[in-house]
């Protein structure tokens, strides 16, 4: 470094950059943590990304030394407030859990701490990451707009420079869509690769811990921390990329239509794009996803419906009472149909290096609603890895989804890294 960095510079570092500077002694973990806390203090009245901050964060950061070889030593991380932390409440943004103090960290948090991360605090979320109360968080690029949900606080905190990394979750589109709205890089890993123990369960077939960051390199760093499996090496030549606007293209906003028209030109330096034929029957995959999600959610919320009465939001009572239009028999038939679609999709993915699809209908809408997950839920239902890559040069953040085969998360990250340089 040519000279000391100011606080504003520190809040714009990626985790990878910050880790290198801590290792070299150019900054300390305490410098970085204080810069993040300062940014939160300056912006919290507007963005409101946090439910709880860790009062011990500075003391924990002060113990990190330059020779600490742990991969996240001294890096502040935000944790969605429906993931258990032993030293802070886990409220699920629900009045029913305002005093909930878990005895243990969720395994996904325990792994972060073992890697040396500083858990800076708990971020706001849609209630139980499902329905009910919306997060009060605003989009850092325009606080009249939603950051998206349900991982609202996590994506807003990263997008606003309040923290370099955060954990979210995705059951429908709760990591990828808000990352698109807030201009973040994000990975929805292949289902089952990161433990969801200690994470509020809603739909066990889909619930996935999501990773939110400022670069693909940061996501790759987290992939190492979470021991995501190796994948076949990506070839060095031009990429062969499938492209789809999904069967729901009529729901896309004009800005996304314009983006997809221009993608071949944007990506021409590194990739050849070709139309991708989705499996027959993919037009009902959103219905199948909702059938399974609502049915499993009914089981997950039954205990609270029986014991908390009117204190539990009406949304959850409606789901427990199966008012969403599905039967339990539909639920089991949906399992089988989704399994067949996964097999067909993966066979088709063998013909390309990755698939590109919209990450959201368009720019973040005004208000605090989570946003429409229709462009995310199909890939969640397919249990495949998805990376949101932000697109530069637009009036508001907007991203594309890079999709690959299950357990090929690292290959999808490699594709995303190559594409990101042109976006």
Give me the chain's average pLDDT, please: 95
Which one is catalytic: 151, 154, 174, 203? Answer: 174
Q: What is the mean pLDDT of residues 314-343?
A: 90
pLDDT tens per residue across span 102-160: 999 999 999 999 999 999 999 999 999 988 889 999 999 999 999 999 999 999 999 99
Q: What is the mean pLDDT of residues 218-223?
A: 98
Q: Is 188 a catalytic residue?
A: no
- Which sequence spans correspond to the domains of the chain? 7-226, 284-321
β-strand pairing of 185-188 with 208-213: antiparallel
On whether the CB atoms of residues 175 and 152 are closer than 8 A, the answer is no
Decide which of 3.90.1300.10, 3.40.50.300, 3.40.50.720, 3.10.290.10 is the CATH code for 7-226: 3.90.1300.10
Q: Is 295 a catalytic residue?
A: no
Kindly report which listed range (124-138, 215-229, 405-419) carries the lowest average pLDDT score.
Answer: 124-138
Q: What is the mean pLDDT of residues 150-171?
A: 98
Which one is catalytic: 150, 151, 203, 220? Answer: 150
CA distances from 316 to 124, 139, 179 (A): 19, 26, 26
Q: What is the mean pLDDT of residues 350-377?
A: 97
pTM metric for this prediction: 0.96
Interhelix angle 409-420/216-225, rounded to 10 degrees, is 160
Please report which confidence band the pLDDT of residue 7 belongs to, taking 50, 70 and 90 as the band edges. Answer: low
Cα–Cα distance for residue pair 129/409, rounded to 1 Å: 24
Kindly report which listed range (3-7, 196-200, 236-240) carries the lowest average pLDDT score.
Answer: 3-7
Residue 354 has pLDDT above 90, yes or no: yes
Cα–Cα distance for residue pair 355/352, rounded to 1 Å: 7
Please report which confidence band the pLDDT of residue 1 belongs to, taking 50, 70 and 90 as the band edges. Answer: very low
52: tokens are 């709880």
227: tokens are 């021991």
pLDDT tens per residue across span 270-328: 999 999 999 999 999 999 999 999 999 999 889 988 998 888 888 888 888 888 788 88
So what's the pLDDT on residue 8?
A: 59
Kindly report which listed range (35-49, 295-309, 390-404) carries the lowest average pLDDT score.
Answer: 295-309
Calculate the dihedral angle through the C-alpha atoms of 91, 93, 97, 100, rounding to the nearest 10 degrees. Answer: 10
Cα–Cα distance for residue pair 295/292, rounded to 1 Å: 5
Please report which confidence band the pLDDT of residue 3 belongs to, taking 50, 70 and 90 as the band edges. Answer: very low
Q: Is 220 a catalytic residue?
A: no
So what's the pLDDT on residue 325?
A: 82
Please report which confidence band the pLDDT of residue 2 belongs to, taking 50, 70 and 90 as the band edges. Answer: very low
């Amino acid at each position: 470094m040519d000279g000391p960095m100011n606080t504003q510079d520190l809040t714009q570092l990626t985790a990878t950059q910050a880790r290198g500077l801590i290792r070299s002694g150019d900054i300390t973990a305490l410098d970085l943590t204080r810069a993040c806390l300062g940014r939160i203090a300056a912006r919290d009245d507007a963005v409101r990304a946090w439910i709880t901050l860790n009062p011990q964060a500075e003391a924990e950061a002060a113990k990190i030394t330059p020779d600490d070889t742990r991969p996240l030593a001294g890096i502040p991380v935000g944790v969605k407030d429906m993931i258990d932390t032993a030293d802070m409440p886990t409220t699920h943004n629900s009045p029913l859990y305002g005093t909930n103090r878990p005895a243990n960290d969720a395994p996904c948090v325990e792994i972060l701490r073992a890697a040396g991360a500083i858990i800076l605090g708990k971020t706001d979320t849609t209630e139980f990451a499902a329905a009910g109360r919306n997060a009060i968080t605003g989009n850092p690029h325009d606080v009249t707009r939603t950051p998206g949900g349900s991982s609202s606080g996590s994506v807003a905190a990263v997008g606003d420079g309040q923290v370099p990394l955060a954990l979210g979750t995705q059951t429908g589109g709760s990591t990828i869509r808000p990352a698109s709205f807030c201009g973040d890089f994000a990975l929805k890993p292949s289902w089952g690769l990161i433990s969801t123990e200690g994470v509020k369960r809603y739909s066990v077939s889909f619930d996935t811990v999501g990773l939110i960051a400022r670069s693909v390199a940061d996501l790759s760093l987290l992939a190492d921390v979470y021991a995501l499996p190796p994948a076949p090496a990506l070839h060095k030549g031009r990429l062969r990329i499938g492209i789809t606007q999904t069967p729901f293209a009529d729901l896309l906003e004009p800005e996304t239509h314009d983006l997809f028209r221009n993608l071949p030109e944007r990506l021409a330096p590194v990739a050849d794009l070709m139309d991708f034929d989705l499996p027959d029957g993919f037009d009902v995959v959103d219905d199948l996803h909702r059938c399974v999600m609502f049915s499993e959610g009914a089981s997950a919320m039954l205990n609270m419906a029986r014991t908390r009465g009117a204190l539990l939001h009406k949304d959850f009572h409606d789901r427990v009472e199966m008012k969403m239009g599905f039967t339990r028999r539909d639920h089991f038939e949906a399992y089988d149909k989704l399994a067949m679609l996964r097999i067909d999709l993966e066979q088709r993915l063998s013909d390309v290096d990755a698939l590109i699809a919209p990450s959201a209908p368009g720019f973040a809408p005004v208000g605090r609603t989570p946003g429409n997950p229709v462009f995310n839920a199909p890939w969640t239902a397919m249990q495949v890895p998805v990376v949101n890559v932000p697109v530069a040069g637009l009036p508001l953040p907007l991203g594309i989804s890079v999709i690959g085969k299950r357990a090929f998360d690292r290959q999808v990250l490699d594709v995303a890294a190559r594409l990101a340089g042109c976006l």
